[in-house]
Protein backbone atom coordinates (compact mmCIF):
# COMPACT_ATOMS: atom_id res chain seq x y z
CA UNK A 1 0.00 0.00 0.00
CA UNK A 2 1.23 3.44 -0.84
CA UNK A 3 1.67 6.09 1.80
CA UNK A 4 2.47 9.76 1.74
CA UNK A 5 5.90 10.87 2.87
CA UNK A 6 4.71 12.15 6.21
CA UNK A 7 2.98 8.85 6.97
CA UNK A 8 6.42 7.29 6.71
CA UNK A 9 7.67 9.57 9.41
CA UNK A 10 9.54 11.99 7.18
CA UNK A 11 8.68 15.66 7.43
CA UNK A 12 9.97 18.37 5.15
CA UNK A 13 10.89 21.69 6.65
CA UNK A 14 9.78 23.55 9.70
CA UNK A 15 6.27 24.77 8.96
CA UNK A 16 3.14 22.78 9.85
CA UNK A 17 0.95 21.39 7.08
CA UNK A 18 -2.75 22.14 6.78
CA UNK A 19 -5.54 19.65 7.60
CA UNK A 20 -5.19 17.57 4.42
CA UNK A 21 -1.62 18.62 3.63
CA UNK A 22 -2.71 19.38 0.08
CA UNK A 23 -3.59 22.24 -2.22
CA UNK A 24 -7.23 22.12 -1.23
CA UNK A 25 -6.37 23.32 2.26
CA UNK A 26 -6.46 26.77 0.73
CA UNK A 27 -10.09 27.76 1.29
CA UNK A 28 -12.22 27.51 -1.82
CA UNK A 29 -9.61 25.76 -3.96
CA UNK A 30 -11.00 22.58 -5.48
CA UNK A 31 -9.31 19.88 -7.52
CA UNK A 32 -10.82 17.44 -10.01
CA UNK A 33 -9.26 14.67 -12.07
CA UNK A 34 -10.26 12.71 -15.12
CA UNK A 35 -8.09 9.64 -15.53
CA UNK A 36 -8.03 7.61 -18.73
CA UNK A 37 -6.58 4.13 -18.54
CA UNK A 38 -7.35 1.89 -21.50
CA UNK A 39 -5.54 -1.03 -23.06
CA UNK A 40 -7.63 -1.21 -26.23
CA UNK A 41 -8.08 -0.15 -28.93
CA UNK A 42 -5.04 1.96 -28.15
CA UNK A 43 -3.17 2.24 -24.89
CA UNK A 44 -4.21 5.20 -22.77
CA UNK A 45 -2.39 6.27 -19.63
CA UNK A 46 -3.32 9.90 -19.47
CA UNK A 47 -5.83 12.39 -18.14
CA UNK A 48 -6.45 15.90 -16.99
CA UNK A 49 -6.32 17.55 -13.58
CA UNK A 50 -8.28 20.73 -13.01
CA UNK A 51 -7.76 23.25 -10.23
CA UNK A 52 -10.86 25.33 -9.63
CA UNK A 53 -10.40 28.31 -7.30
CA UNK A 54 -13.15 30.12 -5.41
CA UNK A 55 -15.46 27.09 -5.30
CA UNK A 56 -15.98 27.47 -9.02
CA UNK A 57 -16.51 31.21 -9.13
CA UNK A 58 -13.06 32.08 -10.49
CA UNK A 59 -14.61 33.09 -13.82
CA UNK A 60 -16.58 35.82 -12.10
CA UNK A 61 -14.18 36.68 -9.30
CA UNK A 62 -10.57 36.78 -10.39
CA UNK A 63 -7.53 36.05 -8.25
CA UNK A 64 -4.12 37.70 -8.33
CA UNK A 65 -1.57 35.52 -10.06
CA UNK A 66 1.98 35.34 -11.36
CA UNK A 67 4.11 33.02 -13.46
CA UNK A 68 7.73 31.95 -13.76
CA UNK A 69 9.49 29.52 -16.09
CA UNK A 70 12.67 27.97 -14.72
CA UNK A 71 13.10 25.98 -17.89
CA UNK A 72 10.97 26.50 -20.94
CA UNK A 73 10.77 23.23 -22.84
CA UNK A 74 7.09 23.14 -22.16
CA UNK A 75 3.78 24.80 -22.70
CA UNK A 76 1.50 26.69 -20.40
CA UNK A 77 -1.19 28.65 -22.13
CA UNK A 78 -2.65 31.79 -20.60
CA UNK A 79 0.54 33.04 -19.02
CA UNK A 80 0.93 36.09 -21.26
CA UNK A 81 -2.47 37.19 -20.02
CA UNK A 82 -1.59 36.49 -16.40
CA UNK A 83 1.71 38.31 -16.60
CA UNK A 84 0.08 41.35 -18.11
CA UNK A 85 -3.28 41.54 -16.36
CA UNK A 86 -2.05 40.16 -13.07
CA UNK A 87 -5.10 37.94 -12.75
CA UNK A 88 -6.15 34.35 -12.97
CA UNK A 89 -9.54 34.36 -14.66
CA UNK A 90 -10.22 30.66 -15.28
CA UNK A 91 -9.54 27.27 -13.72
CA UNK A 92 -6.14 25.76 -14.33
CA UNK A 93 -5.72 22.45 -16.13
CA UNK A 94 -2.75 20.08 -16.31
CA UNK A 95 -2.57 17.46 -19.03
CA UNK A 96 -0.34 15.80 -21.61
CA UNK A 97 1.80 17.46 -24.27
CA UNK A 98 -0.22 16.63 -27.35
CA UNK A 99 -3.56 17.82 -26.07
CA UNK A 100 -2.89 21.06 -24.30
CA UNK A 101 -4.79 22.61 -27.16
CA UNK A 102 -7.87 20.49 -26.80
CA UNK A 103 -8.00 21.07 -23.06
CA UNK A 104 -7.48 24.77 -23.57
CA UNK A 105 -10.29 25.08 -26.10
CA UNK A 106 -12.52 22.95 -23.88
CA UNK A 107 -12.00 25.40 -21.05
CA UNK A 108 -12.89 28.21 -23.43
CA UNK A 109 -16.02 26.34 -24.50
CA UNK A 110 -16.96 25.65 -20.90
CA UNK A 111 -16.63 29.29 -20.00
CA UNK A 112 -18.46 30.39 -23.11
CA UNK A 113 -21.30 27.94 -22.53
CA UNK A 114 -21.79 29.25 -19.03
CA UNK A 115 -21.59 32.88 -20.06
CA UNK A 116 -18.35 33.43 -18.22
CA UNK A 117 -17.09 36.29 -20.34
CA UNK A 118 -15.08 38.23 -21.28
CA UNK A 119 -11.82 36.78 -20.03
CA UNK A 120 -12.63 33.09 -20.09
CA UNK A 121 -10.95 32.82 -23.47
CA UNK A 122 -7.37 32.82 -22.20
CA UNK A 123 -7.28 29.84 -19.84
CA UNK A 124 -4.25 28.34 -18.16
CA UNK A 125 -3.34 24.84 -19.31
CA UNK A 126 0.02 23.20 -18.76
CA UNK A 127 1.48 19.97 -20.03
CA UNK A 128 4.09 17.36 -19.40
CA UNK A 129 4.97 14.50 -21.73
CA UNK A 130 3.46 11.07 -21.00
CA UNK A 131 4.34 9.50 -24.34
CA UNK A 132 6.41 6.76 -22.76
CA UNK A 133 3.49 5.02 -21.05
CA UNK A 134 0.65 6.56 -23.04
CA UNK A 135 0.00 6.24 -26.78
CA UNK A 136 0.07 9.98 -27.18
CA UNK A 137 -0.75 10.05 -30.85
CA UNK A 138 -4.08 8.42 -30.12
CA UNK A 139 -5.19 11.83 -28.81
CA UNK A 140 -7.42 10.19 -26.18
CA UNK A 141 -8.78 13.26 -24.45
CA UNK A 142 -12.10 14.70 -25.50
CA UNK A 143 -13.70 17.95 -24.32
CA UNK A 144 -16.08 15.98 -22.13
CA UNK A 145 -13.15 14.69 -20.10
CA UNK A 146 -12.29 18.27 -19.29
CA UNK A 147 -15.87 19.23 -18.47
CA UNK A 148 -16.10 16.19 -16.18
CA UNK A 149 -12.94 17.12 -14.32
CA UNK A 150 -14.29 20.61 -13.73
CA UNK A 151 -17.67 19.33 -12.59
CA UNK A 152 -16.04 16.78 -10.30
CA UNK A 153 -13.70 19.29 -8.70
CA UNK A 154 -14.19 19.26 -4.95
CA UNK A 155 -12.57 20.23 -1.68
CA UNK A 156 -10.88 17.61 0.47
CA UNK A 157 -7.54 15.91 0.21
CA UNK A 158 -6.17 15.80 -3.31
CA UNK A 159 -5.80 12.36 -4.85
CA UNK A 160 -2.19 11.78 -5.81
CA UNK A 161 -0.03 9.56 -7.94
CA UNK A 162 -1.45 7.98 -11.09
CA UNK A 163 -4.43 10.28 -11.49
CA UNK A 164 -5.56 13.00 -13.86
CA UNK A 165 -2.83 14.76 -15.75
CA UNK A 166 -0.28 12.78 -13.76
CA UNK A 167 -1.50 9.36 -14.84
CA UNK A 168 1.34 8.50 -17.17
CA UNK A 169 4.12 10.58 -15.72
CA UNK A 170 7.61 9.49 -14.63
CA UNK A 171 9.87 11.28 -12.12
CA UNK A 172 13.47 10.58 -11.18
CA UNK A 173 13.05 7.37 -13.18
CA UNK A 174 10.35 6.17 -10.79
CA UNK A 175 6.64 6.31 -11.47
CA UNK A 176 5.57 9.91 -10.87
CA UNK A 177 2.34 11.83 -11.20
CA UNK A 178 0.31 14.26 -9.13
CA UNK A 179 1.50 15.30 -5.68
CA UNK A 180 0.40 17.91 -3.23
CA UNK A 181 1.20 19.44 0.14
CA UNK A 182 0.37 22.52 2.17
CA UNK A 183 1.74 24.75 4.89
CA UNK A 184 0.21 26.99 7.53
CA UNK A 185 1.98 30.31 7.77
CA UNK A 186 2.07 33.19 10.18
CA UNK A 187 3.05 36.29 8.30
CA UNK A 188 2.71 39.80 9.64
CA UNK A 189 0.17 39.03 12.35
CA UNK A 190 -2.00 37.12 9.89
CA UNK A 191 -2.40 33.38 9.43
CA UNK A 192 -2.46 31.98 5.93
CA UNK A 193 -2.47 28.69 4.10
CA UNK A 194 -0.22 27.93 1.18
CA UNK A 195 -0.80 24.87 -0.97
CA UNK A 196 1.14 23.27 -3.79
CA UNK A 197 0.15 20.81 -6.48
CA UNK A 198 2.70 19.35 -8.85
CA UNK A 199 2.61 17.19 -11.93
CA UNK A 200 6.01 15.52 -11.79
CA UNK A 201 7.68 14.18 -14.88
CA UNK A 202 11.31 15.20 -14.59
CA UNK A 203 14.71 14.13 -13.48
CA UNK A 204 17.26 11.38 -13.40
CA UNK A 205 17.40 8.79 -10.67
CA UNK A 206 20.77 9.79 -9.28
CA UNK A 207 19.73 13.33 -8.43
CA UNK A 208 16.72 12.47 -6.24
CA UNK A 209 17.04 13.79 -2.69
CA UNK A 210 14.63 13.32 0.20
CA UNK A 211 15.18 15.98 2.87
CA UNK A 212 18.77 16.21 1.67
CA UNK A 213 19.42 12.46 1.70
CA UNK A 214 20.76 11.11 -1.62
CA UNK A 215 18.00 8.54 -2.06
CA UNK A 216 18.52 8.40 -5.81
CA UNK A 217 22.08 7.24 -5.34
CA UNK A 218 21.08 4.68 -2.72
CA UNK A 219 18.21 3.18 -4.69
CA UNK A 220 19.95 3.18 -8.03
CA UNK A 221 18.78 1.98 -11.40
CA UNK A 222 20.61 -1.28 -10.75
CA UNK A 223 18.20 -1.92 -7.89
CA UNK A 224 15.00 -0.50 -9.33
CA UNK A 225 15.32 -0.20 -13.08
CA UNK A 226 14.61 3.04 -14.86
CA UNK A 227 11.85 2.83 -17.47
CA UNK A 228 14.35 3.46 -20.23
CA UNK A 229 17.96 3.05 -21.14
CA UNK A 230 18.23 6.56 -22.49
CA UNK A 231 16.29 9.52 -21.11
CA UNK A 232 13.18 10.41 -23.13
CA UNK A 233 13.29 13.62 -25.12
CA UNK A 234 10.90 15.77 -23.10
CA UNK A 235 10.27 15.81 -19.38
CA UNK A 236 9.05 18.49 -17.05
CA UNK A 237 7.38 19.59 -13.87
CA UNK A 238 4.36 21.79 -13.46
CA UNK A 239 3.85 23.55 -10.16
CA UNK A 240 0.72 25.36 -9.05
CA UNK A 241 0.92 27.34 -5.82
CA UNK A 242 -2.14 28.79 -4.13
CA UNK A 243 -2.54 30.90 -1.03
CA UNK A 244 -5.26 32.82 0.70
CA UNK A 245 -2.79 35.54 1.63
CA UNK A 246 -3.51 38.91 0.04
CA UNK A 247 -0.64 38.99 -2.43
CA UNK A 248 -0.58 41.39 -5.33
CA UNK A 249 0.30 40.15 -8.81
CA UNK A 250 3.97 41.12 -8.63
CA UNK A 251 4.24 39.26 -5.33
CA UNK A 252 2.61 36.20 -6.90
CA UNK A 253 5.28 36.17 -9.59
CA UNK A 254 7.96 36.11 -6.94
CA UNK A 255 6.15 33.36 -5.08
CA UNK A 256 5.98 31.31 -8.27
CA UNK A 257 9.71 31.64 -8.80
CA UNK A 258 10.33 30.21 -5.34
CA UNK A 259 9.00 26.87 -6.50
CA UNK A 260 12.51 26.46 -7.88
CA UNK A 261 13.87 26.29 -4.32
CA UNK A 262 11.73 23.30 -3.44
CA UNK A 263 12.41 21.64 -6.76
CA UNK A 264 16.15 22.07 -6.32
CA UNK A 265 16.03 20.52 -2.86
CA UNK A 266 14.27 17.44 -4.26
CA UNK A 267 16.92 17.07 -6.93
CA UNK A 268 15.49 19.08 -9.80
CA UNK A 269 17.96 20.79 -12.08
CA UNK A 270 15.83 22.73 -14.54
CA UNK A 271 17.28 20.83 -17.44
CA UNK A 272 17.00 21.61 -21.08
CA UNK A 273 14.20 19.46 -22.52
CA UNK A 274 12.35 20.12 -19.28
CA UNK A 275 9.47 22.52 -19.01
CA UNK A 276 9.65 23.60 -15.40
CA UNK A 277 6.72 25.99 -15.24
CA UNK A 278 5.41 27.58 -12.07
CA UNK A 279 2.13 29.38 -11.49
CA UNK A 280 1.08 31.03 -8.24
CA UNK A 281 -2.27 32.55 -7.39
CA UNK A 282 -3.55 34.31 -4.30
CA UNK A 283 -7.20 34.44 -3.35
CA UNK A 284 -6.86 37.07 -0.64
CA UNK A 285 -8.17 39.77 -2.97
CA UNK A 286 -11.41 39.69 -4.88
CA UNK A 287 -11.52 41.18 -8.38
CA UNK A 288 -15.05 40.97 -9.78
CA UNK A 289 -15.00 40.09 -13.47
CA UNK A 290 -16.39 43.29 -14.92
CA UNK A 291 -14.79 45.71 -12.51
CA UNK A 292 -14.34 49.29 -13.51
CA UNK A 293 -13.16 52.29 -11.55
CA UNK A 294 -11.21 51.71 -8.40
CA UNK A 295 -11.19 48.56 -6.31
CA UNK A 296 -10.13 48.17 -2.72
CA UNK A 297 -7.26 45.72 -2.37
CA UNK A 298 -5.19 44.41 0.48
CA UNK A 299 -1.47 43.82 0.22
CA UNK A 300 0.68 41.72 2.48
CA UNK A 301 3.73 43.87 3.18
CA UNK A 302 6.84 42.74 1.31
CA UNK A 303 8.55 42.38 4.68
CA UNK A 304 6.17 39.55 5.49
CA UNK A 305 6.57 37.58 2.28
CA UNK A 306 9.39 35.44 3.55
CA UNK A 307 7.29 32.90 5.48
CA UNK A 308 5.32 32.36 2.26
CA UNK A 309 8.50 31.91 0.23
CA UNK A 310 9.67 29.36 2.76
CA UNK A 311 6.29 27.64 2.71
CA UNK A 312 6.41 27.47 -1.08
CA UNK A 313 9.82 25.83 -1.00
CA UNK A 314 8.71 23.28 1.60
CA UNK A 315 5.35 22.52 -0.01
CA UNK A 316 6.85 22.01 -3.45
CA UNK A 317 9.54 19.72 -2.10
CA UNK A 318 7.01 17.65 -0.20
CA UNK A 319 4.53 17.62 -3.10
CA UNK A 320 7.13 16.10 -5.37
CA UNK A 321 7.96 13.46 -2.79
CA UNK A 322 4.27 12.74 -2.20
CA UNK A 323 3.84 12.16 -5.92
CA UNK A 324 6.64 9.62 -5.80
CA UNK A 325 5.35 7.97 -2.65
CA UNK A 326 1.78 7.68 -3.89
CA UNK A 327 2.33 6.69 -7.51
CA UNK A 328 2.17 2.97 -8.23
CA UNK A 329 4.07 0.84 -10.69
CA UNK A 330 2.46 1.14 -14.09
CA UNK A 331 2.73 -0.90 -17.26
CA UNK A 332 1.75 1.01 -20.36
CA UNK A 333 2.34 1.63 -24.03
CA UNK A 334 4.36 -1.12 -25.72
CA UNK A 335 4.60 -2.96 -22.43
CA UNK A 336 6.88 -0.42 -20.84
CA UNK A 337 7.05 -0.38 -17.06
CA UNK A 338 7.67 2.49 -14.68
CA UNK A 339 8.43 1.23 -11.20
CA UNK A 340 7.25 2.86 -8.04
CA UNK A 341 9.60 4.18 -5.40
CA UNK A 342 9.89 1.32 -2.88
CA UNK A 343 8.74 2.82 0.41
CA UNK A 344 10.42 0.24 2.61
CA UNK A 345 13.72 1.00 1.00
CA UNK A 346 13.08 4.70 1.31
CA UNK A 347 12.62 4.27 5.05
CA UNK A 348 15.79 2.22 5.27
CA UNK A 349 17.80 4.85 3.47
CA UNK A 350 16.43 7.64 5.60
CA UNK A 351 17.45 5.69 8.69
CA UNK A 352 20.91 5.07 7.33
CA UNK A 353 21.38 8.81 6.99
CA UNK A 354 20.21 9.59 10.48
CA UNK A 355 16.80 10.93 9.63
CA UNK A 356 14.51 8.44 11.33
CA UNK A 357 15.02 6.80 14.70
CA UNK A 358 16.74 3.45 14.43
In angstroms and rounded to an integer, the radius of gyration of the C-alpha atoms of the chain is 19
The footprint of its own copies on residues 314-343 (CB under 8 A) is: none
Rule CB under 8 A: choose which of 19, 291, 331, 337 binds its own copies: 291
101 binds its own copies (CB under 8 A): yes
Rounded to 10 deg, the angle between the 259-266 and 306-326 helix axes is: 40
The footprint of its own copies on residues 144-183 (CB under 8 A) is: none
- Mapped onto helix, strand or coil, the DSSP state of residue 274 is strand
d(CA 250, CA 304): 14
Least distance to its own copies from the beta carbon of 245, Å?
9
d(CA 263, CA 7): 21
84 binds its own copies (CB under 8 A): yes
d(CA 182, CA 311): 8
Binding mask 234-273 for its own copies (x = CB under 8 A): x-----------x-xxxx--x--xx-xxxxxx--xxxxxx
Q: Are 312 and 194 a contacting pair, CB within 8 Å?
A: yes
Q: Please compute, for residue 161, the number of CA atoms within 13 A of its CA located in the half-sphere on the CB side.
A: 18
Burial 122-146 (b: 16+ CB within 10 A, else e): bbbbbbbbbbbbbbbebebbeeebb
The footprint of its own copies on residues 187-216 (CB under 8 A) is: 188-190, 206, 209, 211-214
Whether 222 sits among the annotated catalytic residues: the reply is: no
Whether 276 sits among the annotated catalytic residues: the reply is: yes
Whether 291 sits among the annotated catalytic residues: the reply is: no
27 binds its own copies (CB under 8 A): no
Rule CB under 8 A: choose which of 9, 19, 118, 156 binds its own copies: 118
**Toward its own copies, which CB reaches closer, 50 or 158?**
50
9 binds its own copies (CB under 8 A): no
Report residue 119 CA to chain centroid gap. 23
Options 173, 236, 244, 319, the catalytic residue? 236
Q: Which of the stretches 34-42, 175-183, 298-306, 334-342 binds its own copies when contact is defined by CB under 8 A?
A: 298-306
As annotated, the active-site residues are 236, 274, 276
Amino acid sequence: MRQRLRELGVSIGALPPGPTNSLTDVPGVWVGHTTIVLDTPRVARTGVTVIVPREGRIWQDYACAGFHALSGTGEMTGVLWISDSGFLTTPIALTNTHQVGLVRDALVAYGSRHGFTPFSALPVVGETYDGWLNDLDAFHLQPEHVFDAIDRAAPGRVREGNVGGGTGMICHDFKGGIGSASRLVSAGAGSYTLGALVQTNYGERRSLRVDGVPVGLEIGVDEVPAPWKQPPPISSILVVLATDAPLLPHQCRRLAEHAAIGLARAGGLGLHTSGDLFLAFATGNSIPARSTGTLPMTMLANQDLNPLFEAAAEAVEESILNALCMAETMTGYEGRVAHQLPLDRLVEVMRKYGRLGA
